[in-house]
């Protein structure tokens, strides 16, 4: 069998992948895998059956190990046609694991019921238009042994985003009655009884989650507003007393509520108006204070979302490479880790993830097979980083967004320290010289002032609030109008810009919003010293605040 470009040894490696794939297809003719790169096709073939996995190992290891040993990493990196060393290593280890570990089957005994979404198709048209042909919530009871599901929302055009209450008796979800109706937040018993509509939004309200003390949080979409496309709201458990907790651009979406009480959200990176090419994970408290990035990935062009917290505090999420994709790769942030890591072989497109039981998650996976243009539910072994048993598969409908019907411990409750009567918020920066955007993590230029800008919600234009002095240790302390987006620009003594913040943040009335530096390394602890800006009697510097801050 002839191969092109045989003088290039690395291209020969790609050629061998193609030959290997043809041999596998001849041995497993029913396993037709099309439309994917050779690495993904091989990984998929390896998971079709234990026999397929062993065949892949036999054919793969005869040349892959040799290639790994002989090809230097520099040669691989410097050639665009090369097979990435890390990808080959991961594939080989994954195949060996697949061949040596027998697949397990789903057993009903002791397994929780599942509530999940079913739809005939999904579209990458934004969260409000993801189910163009409608969707439904279903209840699957493995203990019944029937293998069927019960439709919980037969009279709704679409339903999505299920979240089971802490006591395991109710389910919170987003639903729309007609195709042209806006999404609303609903609640019902896990068996479908007592359904009630909690919100009556003029816009689309979806992605709800339970909070402690009989409160909920959800996302409100304003598709006709390019500056403020979506914001988060908190209300009582019956939908009353709804109030916003985000106050800036970024297209915020609720992901989950963490065990420590913070709300995990996804939003644009940086937080600014316009078409988003990158989405990061952020956290904030239920009163809208303490907005911060969850982890700074610093890899542009990735859309992070569909996040879930596991029992050990790790966060599992999906990384997409384009808004045109309905799924992506799986990644994890282990508890206490500063960065995320890929987990599991790319066996298709991961559509959603959720907590299942100790050490396991439930994932919706769309495999790259022509006869499976839908997503099915699988268990995922987090420790081993591999797909486990099939939890549910439908021959016609996609299944996704699964949650177990079980009780869990409510998250921690934060007592709010905000004071709406003050009508002023505060920012305290310990050392504005610290920044990951600077060489060596520190600006060498002398910073004399900080300029504060705000964003006009009516016209989407930035305007200056004013400037404040920066102390010799890099600290500053300012007071600004609350619930209003602001960003900072560091200046030298002549007024020339040294560094400019790209995204918009806010502070709430009475909030002391502190930061170590200006986009500082989160692994770096600040110096154990009292900042000079807090030693002054004439601080904070008031910018855009008309009344004196005598109440502080």
Q: Inform me whether the pLDDT recorded for 27 exceeds 50.
A: no
With a CB cutoff of 8 Å and minimum separation 6, the contacts of 351 are: 122, 306, 318, 326, 327, 363, 364, 365, 366, 375, 398, 400
Q: What is the rounded distance in angstroms from the CA atom of residue 147 to the CA atom of residue 385? A: 27
**Cis status, amide bond into 506, omega within 30 of 0:** no
Tell me which residue of 158, 177, 160 sits closest to 116, measured CA to CA: 160
| Neighbouring-strand partners of residue 266 | 253, 281
Higher per-residue pLDDT: 440 or 422: 422
pLDDT score recorded for residue 61: 44
The phi and psi torsions of 352 (rounded to 5 degrees) equal: -150, 160
> pLDDT-based confidence at 548, cuts 50/70/90?
low
- Is residue 308 within 8 Å of 354, Cβ to Cβ? yes
Nearest Cα residue to 476 out of 526, 519, 536: 536
The average pLDDT across 75-99 equals: 43
Predicted local confidence at residue 525, as pLDDT: 63
The answer to whether the beta carbons of residues 256 and 307 sit under 8 Å apart is yes
Residue 99 has pLDDT above 50, yes or no: no
* Structure-model confidence comparison of residues 492 and 60, the more confident one: 492
Alpha-carbon distance 297 to 280, whole Å? 8
Confidence category of residue 522, pLDDT binned at 50, 70, 90: low
For range 246-257, the mean pLDDT: 94
Whether 38 contacts 83, CB under 8 Å = no
DSSP letters of 162-216? EEE-TTSSEEEEEEESSTTSPPEEEEEETTS-S-EE----SSEEEEEEEETTTEE
**Interval 306-324 mean pLDDT:** 93
What pLDDT shows up at residue 543?
94
Cis check: omega of the bond before 540, within 30 degrees of 0: yes
Structure tokens at 418: 């905000």
CA dihedral 274, 276, 282, 288 (to 10 degrees): 30
- With a CB cutoff of 8 Å and minimum separation 6, the contacts of 275 are none
- Look at 118 and 520; give whichever has higher pLDDT: 118
CA distances from 419 to 265, 289, 422, 469, 479 (A): 24, 12, 6, 26, 14
Per-residue pLDDT at 481 exceeds 50: yes
Which carries the bigger pLDDT value, residue 547 or residue 66? 547
Cβ-based neighbour number of residue 367 at 10 Å: 21
DSSP H helices in 294-391: none
Of residues 94 and 143, which shows the higher confidence score? 143
Phi, psi (deg, nearest 5) at residue 486:
-135, 160
Which of 71-75, 145-149, 230-234: highest mean pLDDT?
A: 230-234
The secondary structure of residue 281, as a DSSP letter, is E
Q: What is the pLDDT of residue 365?
A: 95
How many Å apart are CA 466 and CA 480, to the nearest integer?
Answer: 10
> Are 310 and 296 spatial neighbours (Cβ–Cβ below 8 Å)?
no
Q: Is the per-residue pLDDT at 371 higher than 80?
A: no
Higher pLDDT, 547 or 286: 286
Confidence at 76, pLDDT banded by 50, 70, 90:
very low
Which positions ≥6 away from 422 have C-beta within 8 Å?
482, 509, 510, 549, 551, 552
pLDDT at residue 274 is higher than 70? yes
The pair of three-digit structure tokens given for residue 265, joined into one six-digit string: 């959200």
Looking at residue 315, what is its pLDDT?
A: 96
- For residue 197, the SS3 value is strand
- Give the containing element (helix H, strand E) for 100: helix 85-100
Task: Give ∠ CA 7-9-11 in degrees, rounded to 5.
Answer: 90
- What's the pLDDT band for 369 if we cut at 50, 70, 90? low
Rounded to whole angstroms, the maximal C-alpha distance in the chain is 84
Using alpha carbons, select from 362, 312, 307, 311 the residue that is nearest to residue 335: 312
* Res 477: pLDDT: 94
* Higher local confidence (pLDDT), 23 or 75: 23
Q: What is the pLDDT of residue 154?
A: 97
d(CA 459, CA 386): 49
Q: Is the pLDDT of residue 29 over 70?
A: no
Whether 454 shows a pLDDT value over 70: the answer reads yes
Q: Which tokens is 391 given? A: 């939890």
Report which DSSP code applies to 58. H
Q: Please report the pLDDT score of residue 547 as a whole number.
A: 61
Q: Which residue, 236, 231, 207, is CA-closest to 220?
A: 231
- Cis preceding-peptide flag for 253 (omega within 30 of 0): no
Rounded-to-integer distance, Cα 26 and Cα 21, Å:
9
Structure token digits, residue 330: 């799986």
pLDDT at 528: 72
**Alpha-carbon span 548 to 180, nearest angstrom:** 50
First to last CA, the chain: 80
Whether residue 207 has pLDDT greater than 60 = yes
Lowest pLDDT segment from 236-240, 297-301, 309-313, 357-361: 297-301
Both tokens assigned to 78: 């410097």
Q: Reply yes or no on whether the pLDDT at 325 is more than 90.
A: no
Greatest mean pLDDT among 180-194, 284-298, 325-339, 373-387 lies in: 180-194
Confirm if 446 and 493 have CB atoms less than 8 A apart.
yes
Higher pLDDT, 275 or 389: 389
How does DSSP classify residue 441? G
pLDDT averaged over every residue in the chain: 80
Q: Residue 36: pLDDT above 80?
A: no
CA atoms within 13 A on the CB side of 123: 10
Return the percentage of the chain with pLDDT > 70, whole number: 74
Distance CA 455, CA 170 (A): 40
Structure tokens that stand for 168 in this block: 């395991």
For residue 94, is pLDDT > 60?
Answer: no
- Residue labelled with tokens 């979506």: 230
User: Is the pLDDT reported for residue 186 higher than 70?
Assistant: yes
The answer to whether residue 30 scores a pLDDT higher than 70 is no
Most confident stretch, 105-119, 208-222, 495-509: 208-222
Task: Tell me the average pLDDT across 416-421.
Answer: 93
Higher pLDDT, 455 or 345: 455
SS3 assignment, position 70:
helix
Mean local confidence (pLDDT), 50-57: 46
Which tokens go with 186? 């609903």
Q: Is the overall model pTM greater than 0.85, yes or no? A: no
Is 434's pLDDT higher than 90? no
The edge-to-edge listing of strands for the beta sheet with 398-405 is 149-151, 135-140, 113-119, 398-405
């Amino acid at each position: 069998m002839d191969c092109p470009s045989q003088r290039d040894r690395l291209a020969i490696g790609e050629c061998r992948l193609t030959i290997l794939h043809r041999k596998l297809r001849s041995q497993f003719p029913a396993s037709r895998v099309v439309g994917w790169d050779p690495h993904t096709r091989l990984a998929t073939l390896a998971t079709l059956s234990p026999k397929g996995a062993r065949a892949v190992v036999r054919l793969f290891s005869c040349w892959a190990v040799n290639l790994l040993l002989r090809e230097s990493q520099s040669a691989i990196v410097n050639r665009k046609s090369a097979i990435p060393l890390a990808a080959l290593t991961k594939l080989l280890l994954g195949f060996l694991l697949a061949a040596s570990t027998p697949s397990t089957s789903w057993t009903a005994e002791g397994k929780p019921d599942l509530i999940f979404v079913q739809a005939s198709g999904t579209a990458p048209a934004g969260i409000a238009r993801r189910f163009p042909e409608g969707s439904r919530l279903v209840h699957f009871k493995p203990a019944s042994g029937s293998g069927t599901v019960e439709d919980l929302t037969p009279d709704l055009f679409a339903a999505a985003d299920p979240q089971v209450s802490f006591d395991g008796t109710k389910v919170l979800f987003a639903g729309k009655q007609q195709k042209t109706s806006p999404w609303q937040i609903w609640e019902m018993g896990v068996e479908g009884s007592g359904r009630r509509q909690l919100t009556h939004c003029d816009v689309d309200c979806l992605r709800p989650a339970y909070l402690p003390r009989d409160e909920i949080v959800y996302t409100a979409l304003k598709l006709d507003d390019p500056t403020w496309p979506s914001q988060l709201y908190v209300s009582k458990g019956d939908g009353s007393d709804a109030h916003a907790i985000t106050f800036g651009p970024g297209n915020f979406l609720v992901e989950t509520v963490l065990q420590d009480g913070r709300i995990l959200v996804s939003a644009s990176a940086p937080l600014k108006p316009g078409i988003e090419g990158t989405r990061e994970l952020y956290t904030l408290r239920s009163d809208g204070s303490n907005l911060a990035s969850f982890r700074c990935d610093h890899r542009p062009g990735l859309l992070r979302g569909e996040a879930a917290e596991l029992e050990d505090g790790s966060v599992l999420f999906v990384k997409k490479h384009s808004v045109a994709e309905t799924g992506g790769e799986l990644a994890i942030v282990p508890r206490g880790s500063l960065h995320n890591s890929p987990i599991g072989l790319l066996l298709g497109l991961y559509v959603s993830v959720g907590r299942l039981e100790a050490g396991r998650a439930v994932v919706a996976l769309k495999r790259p097979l022509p006869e499976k243009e839908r997503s099915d539910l699988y268990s995922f072994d987090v420790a081993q980083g591999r797909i486990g048993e099939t939890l549910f598969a439908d021959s016609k409908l996609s299944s996704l967004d699964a949650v177990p019907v079980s009780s869990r411990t409510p998250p921690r409750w934060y007592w709010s320290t905000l004071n709406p009567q003050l009508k002023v918020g505060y920012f305290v920066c310990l050392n504005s010289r610290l920044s990951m955007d600077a060489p060596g993590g520190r600006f060498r230029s002398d910073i004399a002032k900080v300029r504060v800008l705000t964003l006009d919600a009516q016209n989407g234009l930035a305007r200056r609030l004013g400037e404040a002095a920066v102390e010799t240790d890099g600290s500053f302390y300012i007071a600004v109008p609350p619930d209003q987006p602001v960003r900072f620009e560091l200046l030298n003594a002549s007024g020339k810009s040294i560094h400019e913040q790209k995204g918009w943040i806010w502070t709430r009335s009475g909030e002391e919003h502190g930061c170590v530096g200006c986009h500082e390394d989160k692994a770096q602890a600040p110096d154990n010293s009292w900042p000079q800006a807090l030693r002054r009697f004439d601080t904070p510097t008031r910018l855009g605040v008309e009344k004196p801050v005598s109440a502080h």
